[in-house]
Chains A and B, each alone.
Chain A
Amino acid sequence: MTVIPATDRRGFLKAAGSITLAFAIPAGDALAQAAALAGAKPKLPGDMETNRKLGSWLRIGADGAVTLLVGKVELGQGILTAVTQICADELDVDIGRVKLISGDTAQSPNEGTTAGSFSMPNCAPAVRQAAAEVRALLIEMAAAKTGKPAEGWTVADGAMSGPDGAKASYWELASGLSLEREATGAVKPKNPADYKYVGKEFPRLDFPGKFTGQAMFVQELRPEGLLFGQVVRPPTYKAKLTALDTSAAEKMPGVVKVVKNGSFVGVVAQREEQAVAAAAALAAAAKWEVEKALPTSDGIFDWLQKTKPAKVIETKKQPRNGGDPAVKTLEATYFRPYHMHGSIGTSAAVAVLGADGVMTIDTHSQSVFETSEAIAMMLGVDKSKVRCRHVQGSGCYGHNMADDAAADAALLAAAVPGRPVKLQYTREQEHRWEPYGSAMVIKTKAGVDKDGNVLDWDLELFSTPHGTRPGSHAGNLLSARYLEKPFEMPTPQNGGPPNYAADRNGIALYDFPGHNVLTNFITDMPVRVSSTRGLGAYANVFAIESFMDELARAAGVDPIQYRLRHLKDPRGRDVIAKAAETFGWDKWQKKDGRGRGIGFAKYKNIAGYCAVALEVEVNKRNGRVRVVRAVAAADSGHLVNPDGVRNQIEGGLIQSLSWTLKEEVKFDDTRVTSEDWVTYPILTFADVPPVEVVLIDRPGAPFLGTGEAAQGPTGAALANAVADATGVRFRRGPFTPERVKAGLTA
């Protein structure tokens, strides 16, 4: 549950200067009304379709409070600020009044997981509709009360003015307002031009607290009577505990309880450092049976191509229909190593087993609803006995260890009923045990005509899963697999259209006459994997956009012109042109050691458009790649909070540069050896280039998710720029000095 202290926001807004405007009443939507009359349930927008009651989304208090309830949660991208803006605008209240409750399984509408850039498309329209309908209901009540018609009312921060000077207010009507009713879908939201907060630069509501030292993160919760937990992880993925003498640890200072259940070992202590020390002692005392089964990080690409896939999926099959044969065929293979989420704060949770038998868990999980069910299954209790409340954590960029921390805190809290237990993983645990973004191999092949244009395009990819989220099953929680009665991990599925998973963005947006995409989906998992920002999109776009560059070069055509030749989508063409113009593509002068590159994608082919152009300098002596500057152009549909979108695009771009320049999860035949920031380095201030983000606004167009749009285009733009600078094509990241130097001298 994320609660932003209303007082701070009001204070901040005063400083920012708040204005109150009035709006005309929106007209009813004839189509939805007709559906309602015909007795059919109207189709409701976004997640309102499955959470139909107005009261699931909004509460209006007689005391002037407006409570917005959402199932989506804040992951550090400002989503909650954006939906609060929409709510305040549709309801005509000052934004400082809106108190938000998000991701509390006991109160919030079930909106599933917060991921995949779905928050804006699914949550925002629901909030908009709920607020518009509640406003309309209040106006009907005001009309009835004052005996005036329902037309012609305006509202300013809850104060209502009607025909002939009639007055009313939300707050005096609140007690008679029942929101225990389904939305009708018949109220039309406002015209975008009439929004006061939406579309404007709006500061994040949670920043003042975060920047002045208020408790804002789950890591900062400290309820009364708090105890501290730690767990002991096995040395390898499949290790079994064969012997453990707990007696010494039990006698250590502050130790309240040692928990041992099968191969799961944990400890609860009075103080945090006592828990850490006891866990270290337990780890030293434990005897394990370990396996040697990993293909190693150098062998993984062979392994991916040799392992029998659980499924071979024809993601797209569109053979060319007649025409001349290709005059030439080009081929290339691209590789993506495993990448880490690498949250700066290790995952944490606070759990307490109440006297009523309910386990309440404060967690930064992205999927509070499914995770609470998975934990109930692990604990062997009814799902009503587990409540998860979302509290913000460190940025996660996908399925990190948030859910595991929630489960582990629950396992420990179950051993000390009535006492809250807080658990925060060590850096080594987070690095070695989080579910990584899967390694992938992508083979591309193109048959081209005499001008070098693509006639036949074939892409074949090899990947392990990209989704092992809890999904209401205990087997997806790490520790549940080590219990005395272990839960087996369900076999992961590859997501199908329209979002896809391993094959996300495997289908290029270009209009190739022949276009086939084949997905080898491998469910064996040598190392743990799950959703990492963009899923397969990063690697697929890296491959597609690198290969487009190779084809352009082979054809002797400018890479931007080459892309535009193959792309009809007008919004796609616009972002490419915008990126090129902002970069100064046409005026750019080649200098020795410098190169420029472009990359483009429409995320999932249904979300935000993004094109990235950047310039690099490659030191040919030591192989060091420096990104000199980067620009990104993006189209996210109707912009709710432009600065928020810029922030996400820039952040995604920098993270993708880090992946592509520096990152690879290393493992030998037994264990992951990337165990901290020295063995798994990421981009730092000195390496971060200036970034310029330009946005194309599409007022009235659907909201498109943005958080993952920059990942693929950035990686490809970097590879293309390095090729431009050196004449050598690098198809496997990371572009470390060693790898680049070796490539240049090969």
Chain B
Amino acid sequence: MISFKLNGREVKADAPDDAPLLFVLNNDLGVNGAKFGCGKSQCGACTVLIEGEPARSCSIKVSSVAGRSVVTLAGLTENGKPSKLQQAFIDEQAAQCGYCTSGMIMQAQALLDRNPNPTDADVRSALNGNLCRCGSHNRVVRAVLRAAKEA
């Protein structure tokens, strides 16, 4: 049994120590958002925040988050409403299929937490490891910059 803080709440997961955090979030805790894309830290679709830092949940053992704080896409919402960043993604219609978006939003949140006024180049470099096949990149950058401006 592994205990950690998920989106502000204490949770326990009855999972093997070496199970990837992603699978435990998805399958044991029923949390969406973080998605499987490659399983080898190459695409960013599974990105979550661990103690505020972006992390690839596909390649992290669940045991390593014991006692720590994990935040997923749903954890960013405020009283069930989209956060500023999420709303900025809606306002900019910053996706096509949206499969990569959860990871993009988590990675961008970590950037904004560290640097509330990023430049276009800052955003691109922070998100450079998050792949999008639909070509939504420029909309994503605009969404992040909009969220920063409106914060």
Contact = CB atoms under 8 A, between A and B. Distances in A.
Interface in A595-654: 643, 647-648, 650-654
A397 B133 contact: yes
Contacts of B23: 271-273
Interface string A396-440: 010000000000000000000000000010110000000000000
Contacts of A654: 135, 137-138
A459 to B, nearest CB: 29
B35 A345 contact: yes
Contact of B96 (A220, A651, A653): A651
Contact of B134 (A210, A228, A395): A395
A214 B82 CA distance: 12
A77 B134 CA distance: 9
Interface of A, secondary structure class, is: loop
A553 to B, nearest CB: 30
B4 to A, nearest CB: 17
Nearest to B123: A685
Interface of B, secondary structure class, is: loop
Contacts of A203: 90, 93
B32 A207 contact: no
Contacts of B75: 213
B132 to A, nearest CB: 7
Contacts of A212: 73-74, 76-77, 82, 86
Contacts of A686: 124-125, 128
Interface residues of A, number: 61
Interface in A684-701: 684-686, 688, 690-691
Contacts of A226: 27
Interface string A53-97: 000000000000000000000011110000000000000000000
A565 B122 CA distance: 45
B37 A395 contact: no
Interface string B64-94: 0000000011111100001000100110010
A343 interface: yes
A647 B131 contact: no
B135 A427 contact: no
B47 interface: no
Contact of A273 (B19, B43, B45): B19
A341 B86 CA distance: 28
A685 B77 CA distance: 26
Interface in A649-668: 650-655, 658
B105 interface: yes
A216 interface: yes
A684 B125 CA distance: 10
Contacts of A215: 32
B57 interface: no
Contacts of A211: 73, 82, 86, 89-90, 95, 98, 101-102, 105
Interface in B86-131: 86, 89-90, 93, 95-102, 105, 123-125, 127-131
Nearest to A219: B35
Nearest to A395: B97
Interface in B2-39: 15-16, 18-20, 23, 26-27, 30-33, 35-39
A204 interface: yes
A207 B90 contact: yes
B40 A427 contact: yes
Contacts of A253: 16
Nearest to A74: B97
Contacts of A647: 93, 96, 136, 139
B133 A653 contact: no
A355 interface: no
Interface of B: 15-16, 18-20, 23, 26-27, 30-33, 35-40, 42-43, 45, 72-77, 82, 86, 89-90, 93, 95-102, 105, 123-125, 127-141
25 contacts: A76-B99, A77-B96, A207-B95, A210-B102, A211-B73, A212-B74, A213-B33, A213-B75, A271-B16, A271-B27, A272-B23, A344-B100, A344-B131, A345-B36, A395-B134, A653-B135, A658-B135, A676-B42, A677-B43, A678-B42, A685-B123, A685-B124, A685-B137, A686-B124, A686-B125
